[in-house]
Amino acid sequence: MESRVAQAEQKETGRLEAFSDGVFAIAITLLALNLAIPHLGGNSSNKALGDALSAQWPSYVAFFTSFFTILVMWVNHHRVFRLIERTSAQLMYANGFLLMMTTAVPFSTGLLSEYFRLPGARLAAAVYSGTFVLIALGYQLVWMSLLRNRSLFKRSVPETEIATITKNYRMGVPIYLLATIAAFFSVYASVGICTALWVFWAATSQDCVDFTAR
Amino acid sequence: MESRVAQAEQKETGRLEAFSDGVFAIAITLLALNLAIPHLGGNSSNKALGDALSAQWPSYVAFFTSFFTILVMWVNHHRVFRLIERTSAQLMYANGFLLMMTTAVPFSTGLLSEYFRLPGARLAAAVYSGTFVLIALGYQLVWMSLLRNRSLFKRSVPETEIATITKNYRMGVPIYLLATIAAFFSVYASVGICTALWVFWAATSQDCVDFTAR
Amino acid sequence: MESRVAQAEQKETGRLEAFSDGVFAIAITLLALNLAIPHLGGNSSNKALGDALSAQWPSYVAFFTSFFTILVMWVNHHRVFRLIERTSAQLMYANGFLLMMTTAVPFSTGLLSEYFRLPGARLAAAVYSGTFVLIALGYQLVWMSLLRNRSLFKRSVPETEIATITKNYRMGVPIYLLATIAAFFSVYASVGICTALWVFWAATSQDCVDFTAR
Amino acid sequence: MESRVAQAEQKETGRLEAFSDGVFAIAITLLALNLAIPHLGGNSSNKALGDALSAQWPSYVAFFTSFFTILVMWVNHHRVFRLIERTSAQLMYANGFLLMMTTAVPFSTGLLSEYFRLPGARLAAAVYSGTFVLIALGYQLVWMSLLRNRSLFKRSVPETEIATITKNYRMGVPIYLLATIAAFFSVYASVGICTALWVFWAATSQDCVDFTAR
């Protein structure tokens, strides 16, 4: 009987995980819709097309940064959900907020792509970084809903793992806030901080994967 | 042999559940396509972009409300499918109708976003609420197809759970109808009722999740 | 050891099934992108919006018909994959052709929606029905790849089930061909045949589901 | 206990596989968004619509080639992931790069469709083939991350299988590079090489599927 209950719970977190994965996968794929096909009207020579494609280099940068940021966030999501065996309503809606902000990334990425070389670039970069502030806040809320109800964790989760994640998550909101403020001084600084953050997380997540693989 | 049949049925409802989850996940992610990147032509200063982004605040409200409404509906869908172990053709097509109307939510959300501050706002809000009337009707049809063929339920489902859901579902259609009628008097009242409804459902669904976790 | 091989095969057909389900779910959700938000410029009163929304009734009909046709096709896909425990390269590519044509349904649906009340309606309806001819052909190819390599079927599959499907599938291509030819005489006749077909399949698939549930 | 660890690892690679499948499924479905509905303004007769639809034959060719290329790549992805039971951070990010380039295929396909019969066709074909160079490079990186950490493979994987894949993968980058260079001489040659490659892979993958099915 107990194993049956356990199985039902497995399915419970499983379905939430699968739904979240679906949203991550769709949001990450929709990023590519920001890669615009140039419409050149009269002169559509190889040279004109090449110039038009080169001119939209900011969309490639934004696409790349957003893709890997969402990918790293998905890995992190994964890392948290690997630790739990139950869901709560609070967790469900904190996760919902997190997903909602993730679906907005293609929008903020498109905004940054379009305004990167226009006068409004700084505001666009602030909106771009600001979206990540809210996503980081979503992670914080998800994590807090777990810390406040530890019975959601699997019994086998080591306290050290929980402490590590608590520490890592603390960085997200303030650093993205910094990137948002930086945007009003330099678009490059802002996007640079966002990029540095996913590179850092990608580098550190190695431990996570190693942990799992053991 | 029996366990094999049971497994095949598990897979049966599992695949319907997974398909539904996929549709929910895609529809909820497509909502973000309604967040429009402002095209400012000549004057694309930070100020002009800021004004343009602020001016489209109705899309943010509509995005938020629709996102959480679909999320709550997904949780509810989940709650029902957790109780069953078989599917019927009737259930399949009632569920299909429910999913079809769910995929229309990004359209009705976009309509509301675009017309919120235009003369046609009331009709747009009525279409918006009207979509939810039809989704609520879809849930009602799904639930009725189960009540009429109780062998689809798992044997372990308590009658009290069935009675609770029956009672809760009765509210959906009339309240969304009210929101639809209210739209012709006040857009705010209509959207307010829709918002109140998902907040209410989110609050009550806690019991559901607790039930599962036990 | 044998159970391990069996499990690997389960996973094999399982992944193909999940991939197909994903494509069906995305294609069915993208149909809603054909529901256009009217852009009314100067006069955006409730009346003008109402007229514009009413005027695009063909998109609602096309949306409805395409949604349920894809849904029924998904159920049928399901029905076939429930019978097999292995895949072959031939099956994989026949299934790929089937999926490719399914992803084209939002396009043909949009074409029909846009041209339904224009002079080019008959050609649009022919393209619409023609897409289904090719999908039906895809099903035929999938089924033939199984009939030619019966070791892909589960051993427990009754010959009667195979015979029933063989008989049912024979109808798809000719009836959709008829709908395609009918398009050149009457758009209504063509769309009517397409609608009649999914209603017929939905009605007959009941037996299928009952079979599974037993 | 060991079986529990094994199960957790299964779930680990399983979730990465499911996420990848999701991205493949969405990217392959978004290809159809490049099938444009002709807007004919005044003259929308059957003849005008027929001409407009015929004129966009390059999009059908590009759609077909891209669809089957992604399908074959998905089968190949499948083939590799069938061999492993653990993930590493390196594998995760190599796979991420591979997926990112896959989501760009609808863009490069749209570019090729639009420029196929315009002066800029050669550059468009070079971008199209170039996308596949990068995808092939992604596969190479995924495979190298496995060869460098053989403990990720299942113990039962035969060395011959690894050797075969190593050999097959070596071809991808140079042949797509050839197609990219060929684009500057002939669009047909470039697209022809891309098509030949998926046909070749589809034909050879038969062995793969046979291997699995045994």
Q: Give the C-alpha separation, D197 to D69, whole Å.
A: 8
Q: What is the pLDDT of residue B208?
A: 45
| Residue pointed to by tokens 């096709």 | C73
C12-46: per-residue pLDDT in tens?
688 888 899 999 999 999 999 999 899 887 788 88
ipTM, 2 dp? 0.87
DSSP assignment, residue B148? T
| Chain Cα centroid distance, residue B214 | 26
DSSP assignment, residue C35? S
Q: What does pLDDT average to over chain A?
A: 85
As a three-state string, the secondary structure of B74-89 is HHHHHHHHCCECCCCH
Write out chain B residues lying below 8 Å of C18, CB-based.
Answer: 18
**CA of D87 to nearest chain C CA: how many angstroms apart?**
18
Q: Give the C-alpha separation, A209 to D96, whole Å.
A: 15
Could you write out the DSSP letters of every residue in D122-170?
Answer: HHHHHHHHHHHHHHHHHHHHHHHHHHT-GGGB-TT--HHHHHHHHHHHH
Closest CA to B59 of B38, B37, B39, B35: B35
Q: Residue C2 pLDDT more than 50?
A: no
B181-208: per-residue pLDDT in tens?
999 999 999 999 999 988 888 777 654 4
Q: Give the C-alpha separation, C105 to B62, whole Å.
A: 29
Q: What is the pLDDT of residue B10?
A: 57
On whether any CB of chain C is under 8 Å from the CB of D8, the answer is no
Could you write out the DSSP letters of every residue in D77-115?
Answer: HHHHHTTBS---HHHHHHHHHHHHHHHTHHHHHHHHHHH
Tokens of C5: 């091989």
Closest CA to D75 of A25, A29, C91: C91
Q: Give the C-alpha separation, C178 to C133, whole Å.
A: 9
Averaged pLDDT, A142-162: 87
Q: Are C31 and C106 spatial neighbours (Cβ–Cβ below 8 Å)?
A: yes
Using CB atoms, which residue from A103, A114, A123 is nearest to B50? A123
Tokens of D68: 């089957």
Q: Which residues of chain D have pLDDT under 70?
A: 1-12, 205-214
Q: Are A90 and A149 spatial neighbours (Cβ–Cβ below 8 Å)?
A: yes
Write out chain D residues lying below 8 Å of C17, CB-based.
Answer: none
Cβ burial, residue D185 (10 Å; 0-12/13-18/19+): exposed
Q: What is the pLDDT of residue B15?
A: 81
**CA of A192 to nearest chain D CA: how many angstroms apart?**
19
A174-210: per-residue pLDDT in tens?
999 999 999 999 999 999 999 998 888 877 765 444 3
On whether any CB of chain A is under 8 Å from the CB of B6, the answer is no
Q: Are D131 and D101 spatial neighbours (Cβ–Cβ below 8 Å)?
A: yes
Report helix angle D57-81 to D105-115, nearest 10: 160
Cβ burial, residue A207 (10 Å; 0-12/13-18/19+): exposed
Q: What is the pLDDT of residue B68?
A: 93
C80-91: per-residue pLDDT in tens?
888 888 888 888
Domain-by-domain residue ranges, chain A? 2-213
Distances (CA, A) of A189 to A78, A170, A181, A186: 29, 21, 10, 5
**CA of B202 to nearest chain C CA: how many angstroms apart?**
25
On whether any CB of chain D is under 8 Å from the CB of A32, the answer is yes
Averaged pLDDT, B132-146: 93
Q: Residue A72 pLDDT more than 70?
A: yes
Closest CA to A165 of A79, A102, A85, A101: A79
Could you write out the DSSP letters of every residue in A139-197?
Answer: HHHHHHHHHT-GGGB-TT--HHHHHHHHHHHHHHHHHHHHHHHHHTT-HHHHHHHHHHH
Q: Residue C210 pLDDT more than 50?
A: no
Write out chain B residues lying below 8 Å of A122, CB-based.
Answer: 46
Q: What percent of chain A has pLDDT over 70?
A: 90
On whether any CB of chain C is under 8 Å from the CB of D22, the answer is yes
Tell me how crowded residue D166 is: count the other CB atoms within 10 A of its CB. 14
| Chain Cα centroid distance, residue D116 | 21
C113-132: per-residue pLDDT in tens?
999 888 889 999 999 999 99
Q: What is the pLDDT of residue B7?
A: 53
Q: Are A148 and A162 spatial neighbours (Cβ–Cβ below 8 Å)?
A: no
**CA of C2 to nearest chain B CA: how many angstroms apart?**
17
Question: In a 3-state reduction of DSSP, which class is residue C43?
Answer: coil
Q: Are B159 and B130 spatial neighbours (Cβ–Cβ below 8 Å)?
A: no
Q: Are D103 and D27 spatial neighbours (Cβ–Cβ below 8 Å)?
A: yes
Window 186-205 of A: residues touching D by CB (8 A cutoff) are: 202, 205
Q: How many helices (H) and strands (E) does chain A have?
A: 8, 0
| Residue pointed to by tokens 């609050």 | B203
Using CB atoms, which residue from C22, C45, C209 is nearest to B87? C209
Phi-psi map region of C135: left, alpha, beta (phi>0 left; psi -120 to 50 alpha): alpha
The set of chains that have 3 or more CB pairs under 8 A with A is: B, D
Rounded to two decimals, the pTM is 0.89
| Confidence class for position C8, pLDDT limits 50, 70, 90 | low
Q: Give the C-alpha separation, C181 to C174, whole Å.
A: 10
Q: What does pLDDT average to over chain C?
A: 85
| Residue pointed to by tokens 């034909």 | D203
| Residue pointed to by tokens 């039962």 | D156
| Confidence class for position A16, pLDDT limits 50, 70, 90 | confident
Mutate to test the interface with B, among C3, C10, C46 (most CBs of B within 10 A): C46
Residue type, C46: N
If you measure CA to CA, which chain D residue comes closest to C110?
Answer: D37
B3-21: per-residue pLDDT in tens?
444 555 556 688 888 899 9
Write out chain D residues lying below 8 Å of A53, CB-based.
Answer: 123, 127
Contacts for C214 with CB less than 8 Å, ≥ 6 apart: B5
CB contact under 8 A, D206 and C100: no
| Confidence class for position A11, pLDDT limits 50, 70, 90 | low
CB contact under 8 A, A17 and D19: no
Q: What does pLDDT average to over chain B?
A: 85
